Amino acid sequence: MNRFTLLFFLCILFLWAGNADAQVSTPKYSNEFLNIGVGARALGMGNVQVAVADDATAGFWNPAGLLQLRNKYNIALMHSELFAGIAKNDFGSFAMPIDSNSTLAVSVIRLGVDDIVDTRRLQNEYGYIQYDSIRFFSVADYAMLLSYARKSNLIQGLTLGVNAKIIYRNVGEFANAWGFGFDAGAQLRRGTWQFGVMAKDVTTTFTAWTHNVEALEATYQQTGNDLPESTAELTLPRLVLGAAKNFTFSDKITGILATDVDFTFDGKRNVLLKSDFASVDPHVGMELAYAQTVFVRGGLNNYQQFRNFDGGTSSKVQPNFGVGFENNGLNIDLAMSRINGRDGNTANAGGLYSIIISLGYSFN
């Protein structure tokens, strides 16, 4: 990589800093479906991946990690169900090197709720119920990521990556939106240490909404609501810093201890450290491997404070667990995430959780 390319990368980071300060009025939680995470390995480790991502999912977590692919052709697939199966979260990715110094990847994400009942025509003009007039629609968010990664010739062990992402969001026949944005990332390896940085929505991501007023007009007039107007929303940059340490316990047993720290700039969030300018959300994860074949994972993330019924406040953190198996380029990963008791106590056996299944295959 020449000096011009490195200078371009640094300019992107400066653009990120400038936009983060200028767009202070942008609402929080824009395009949040892109922050849920993908891959059972990552979700089992508490979404800690910026420094350690090294497979086809790296296009999502940190495109710079695509330079760590072990084979030429790499495929990753994931399916998870949220809220007792109401929402489906799916991910697919394909990655391959262009040459010894650069790699390309294409990733697709869908988060959707299907078969939502549309009862606008349930009652006819005579007041009779007509069940055969019920229709169904879906609400879904889509994203396509085009990722490029390249090794740096200036600093040994440094890799750089960038994402161009296209976003499409759809609410049945009622509304849809298109968006476009960029991510930029880097990874650095030094002995047993790994470091990473990921600037999401580095130039802010613009999403434009269009509403089908004709489909909504009758219902909104009956309920006394104002008709929606076409709007645009901006997603402010998010900076993620990561570090990891590799351990060797024996000839066959190895481990990774890693942490990521998320910095958001869209006002106060319910995280560990927060202010009007920025919020800081740390999370940690670990992975133990036996002969690089069997993996056990764990992580802590999503620290939050909440108010009790008695007026007091409590805090909780989300534990995550996972296992994996890899052999001859095939890897199967399983994670249990979002574990919460019905009363907010993570130890409550009646809690709610999500099961995430990932498949990966790489070959030459």
pLDDT, one tens digit per residue, over 153-194 is 889 999 999 999 999 999 988 899 999 999 999 999 999 999
Mean pLDDT of the chain, nearest integer: 86
At residue 274, does pLDDT exceed 80? yes
**Mean pLDDT, residues 105-134 taken together:** 85
Residue 204 or residue 219, greater confidence: 204
At residue 199 the predicted structure's pLDDT band, cuts being 50, 70 and 90, is very high
Q: Give the pLDDT mean for 70-88.
A: 90
Give residue 77's pLDDT band: very low, low, confident or very high (50, 70, 90): very high
Q: What mean pLDDT is predicted for residues 325-329?
A: 94
Q: State the pLDDT confidence band at 263, using cuts at 50, 70 and 90.
A: very high
Inform me whether the pLDDT recorded for 294 exceeds 90. yes
β-bridge mates for residue 289, sequence order: 254, 295
Domain assignments of the chain as residue spans, ordered by start? 3-363
Question: In the predicted model, is pLDDT for residue 25 greater than 50?
Answer: no
CA pair distance 213, 227, nearest whole angstrom: 7
Which backbone phi and psi does 50 adopt, to 5 degrees? -60, -35
**Distance (Å, rounded) from C-alpha 245 to C-alpha 122?**
60
Q: Average pLDDT, stretch 46-55? A: 96
Instruction: Kindly state which CATH superfamily the domain 3-363 is placed in.
Output: monomeric porin ompg (2.40.160.40)
pLDDT score, position 340: 52
The yes-or-no verdict on residue 118 having pLDDT over 70 is yes
Q: pLDDT at position 11, please?
A: 47
Cα 278–Cα 283–Cα 288 angle in degrees, nearest 5: 160
Q: How confident is the model at residue 308 (pLDDT cuts 50, 70, 90)?
A: confident
> Of the candidates 84, 89, 50, 44, which has an alpha carbon nearest to the alpha carbon of residue 186?
50
- Per-residue model confidence (pLDDT) at position 282: 96
Choose among 184, 193, 243: nearest CA to 51.
243
**Residue 231, phi then psi, degrees to nearest 5:** -135, 170
pLDDT reported for residue 351: 54
Q: What is the pTM of this model?
A: 0.84
The whole-number pLDDT of residue 221 equals 67
pLDDT greater at residue 44 or residue 1: 44
Pairing of strands 87-99, 73-82: antiparallel
In the predicted model, what is the mean pLDDT of residues 47-58?
96
Identify the pLDDT of residue 7: 45
CB 240 within 8 A of CB 260: yes
